Amino acid sequence: MAVPISQMWTVATYVLRQRWSGRKRYPLVLMLEPLFRCNLACAGCGKIQYPAHILKKELSPEECFRAAEECGAPMVSIPGGEPLLHPKIGEIVAGLVKRKKYVYMCTNALLLKQKIDLFKPSKYLTFSVHLDGQREHHDFSVCREGGYDVAVEGIQEAVKRGFRVTTNTTLFDGADPNSVRTFFDEVMSMGVEGIVLSPGYTYDKAPDQKHFMGRARSRRLFRAILSNRKKNWKFNMSPLFLEFLMGKRDYQCTPWGSPAYNVFGWQKPCYLLQDGYADSFQELLDTTEWSNYGTESGNPKCANCMVSCGYEPSTVDSGFGSISGILAMAKATLFHSYPDKGALDLLNQPVAPVHAINPLIQINAPQTVNSLEETHA
């Protein structure tokens, strides 16, 4: 496992403190979105579709610090939009690091080389670089030729300067598991600390609604990718979450585990859905109808969801919250190759090239919204 011991210790002791204090719902990772605008226009992105006056808005450093202190989570993920476009991103990150938050700054890295002097290497700071696969696949996914090469240059510069760096990959329907496995070899050879993975989620606002996966298809893809694992692959994620993606475990969503704060306030109920906003974190906890969310709720918006912001906190709570959870994590960490003949067979099955079934989406073109149901998988 790639997560440093000091970070694991911080998270483990935090989880135990929450459990011992009898707190039923607690945050693990604050999803802090200081702005929505971006210098890319990926087909699967639900953030950049806001009108121009919203895309111009930004959180101030003080608003970011207040949110971090109010919720108290030990980790802060800064997605967006592209956080490097925020004129005060250096100040925001430095302030969070000063507060001893483990910060994951998510970036497409197009500006990383140019802006890297705004940051200082720290055990509390990780650049989480958006790379959706091998060169051709990534460039197609982000609708930018040459995007992969610029991102890799950014990764190499950050690694050279002693920063913690992970890659962050979202997998959509049609992903070729063999290509993804080769991609893992490539990113590990860049010297990154680990890989972060997530299945795509159907955003109402995303222009490409056709190629998100149902749960069964997600499990099949992740089983093919993550079984028969190579020793040099490191994942900056809960090992139980990876088992969840492979279909070896089941969990209920804990959306309060990764609360989202952005220019509208605290988003209900999670980073993905927008069923209103609260003015404070406590109000978010108190006024959200949590039973309406998660796959078991019957809410169609949650039916296919397996994303990390909903389910990784569930695995961390379960992993650090009981002896059996600790043993399961130790087993998953020590014996993590997952030999699986059936998964090897899956790798030998033909895959339609993703570009053949996933034509480039024009952002402004009207799209037909297809709902993917579990039974479609």
Q: Which residues bind ligand SF4 (CB under 6 A)?
A: 38, 40-42, 45, 47-48, 80-82, 108, 130, 142, 253, 255, 269-270, 272-273, 293-295, 301-302, 305, 307, 309-310
Q: How far is CA 18 from CA 21, 28, 317, 359, in A?
A: 5, 10, 10, 47
Report the residue number, 246 or 260, with the smaller CB distance to ligand SF4: 260
Smallest distance, Å, CB 13 to ligand SF4? 25
Residue nearest to ligand SF4 (CB): 310
Report the residue number, 78 or 343, with the smaller CB distance to ligand SF4: 78
Report the residue number, 291 or 348, with the smaller CB distance to ligand SF4: 291
Q: How far is CA 31 from the centre of its chain?
A: 10
Smallest distance, Å, CB 151 to ligand SF4? 10
Smallest distance, Å, CB 344 to ligand SF4? 31
**Left, alpha or beta for 371 (phi > 0: left; psi -120 to 50: alpha)?**
beta
Q: What's the number of CA atoms in the CB half-sphere (13 Å) around residue 36?
A: 20
CA distance 96 to 377: 41
Query: In this structure, what token pair is assigned to residue 142?
Result: 């982000």
Smallest distance, Å, CB 318 to ligand SF4? 16
Report the residue number, 62 or 286, with the smaller CB distance to ligand SF4: 286
Q: Decide: helix, strand or coil at residue 168.
A: strand
For 285, which DSSP code?
H
Smallest distance, Å, CB 247 to ligand SF4? 16
CA distance 240 to 12: 14
What residue type is assigned to position 240 of the chain?
L
Report the residue number, 226 or 273, with the smaller CB distance to ligand SF4: 273
Kindly compute the dihedral angle of the four CA atoms of residues 31, 35, 37, 40, in this order, to the nearest 10 degrees.
Answer: -40
CA distance 176 to 188: 19
Report the residue number, 170 or 227, with the smaller CB distance to ligand SF4: 170
Smallest distance, Å, CB 5 to ligand SF4? 29
- Diameter of the chain by CA atoms? 53
CA distance 356 to 4: 40
Report the residue number, 97 or 272, with the smaller CB distance to ligand SF4: 272
Smallest distance, Å, CB 182 to ligand SF4? 22
